[in-house]
Amino acid sequence: MNTTLPALVGISHGTSSPAGQAAVAGLMRAVSHNRPDLHTALGHVDVQLPDVTQVLAELTPGRSAIVVPLLLSAGFHVHVDLGRAVRAEPSRRVALADALGPDDRLVDVLRYRLTQAGATDDDTLVLAAAGSSDARAVADCRAVAERLTEASGRVVTLGFLSAAKPRLEAAIAAARTEHPDSRVVASSYLLAPGYFQALAEKAGADVTTAPLLVDTEPVPPGLVELVLDRYLTAANRSF
């Protein structure tokens, strides 16, 4: 392991779901396997410990670090929670990378999950996102819906599970009204199993895809590449 490179500190939202915890931990193991020269660590902004401050405190004194948000959009947790934690770090150089989305590699995984779920060209698609009160995060989700529309060749509408509108249930109902002769498929734009995935599955779609990460399956290589890309971009920008 190269001790001169900044540590890669992946920070997820956090979940009480054992399957979700395992899926996110698996992502970081895959990142570490891909780049064994990097010191990697995992923390969370909510629900689970350690938090970002605790993870940074456990690094070798003085070692620089790059915090990579394992979050699909840049809302309050990125701009406020992680931004504050990074600025408050007194003993080392720490940079904050961009959130994972929007990015075409996420769209590739969304399309794979749709195929896995048996979605066809005749289905109507609704992208199911967690939601945020931060307009920047909402815009990020809209950008992903637009990219999925372009990549799939059919219109993808958007529904949120909290904080933003339209709510997923309303978006699914509207899709069913507009396309009464087709199935409505909810494309889960969630990182891992947990509370929001359970809500998405109860929102009324005929089919709901699995989240991007599933604890019982290999980590999609594109997600590993994306985490490392966010790390390298921040390193080039800040160090």
The pTM of this model reads: 0.95
The predicted structure's pLDDT at residue 166: 97
The predicted structure's pLDDT at residue 62: 85
**DSSP conformational letter for 99:** P
Between CA 134 and CA 236 the distance in angstroms is 27
Return the beta strands (E) in 120-227 as ranges.
124-129, 156-160, 184-189, 207-208
Instruction: Tell whether the model's pLDDT for residue 78 goes beyond 90.
Output: no
Model pLDDT for residues 149-203, shown as the tens digit of each residue: 999 999 999 999 998 999 999 999 999 999 999 999 999 999 999 999 999 999 9
Q: Which domains does the chain have, with CATH numbers?
A: 7-101+216-238 (3.40.50.1400), 104-208 (3.40.50.1400)
The predicted structure's pLDDT at residue 156: 97
Question: Which range among 73-77, 132-136, 200-204, 212-216 shows the weakest confidence by mean pLDDT?
Answer: 73-77
Confidence label for 2 from pLDDT (cuts 50, 70 and 90): low
In Å, how far are 53, 97, 117, 165, 214 from 169, measured between CA atoms? 37, 33, 20, 10, 23
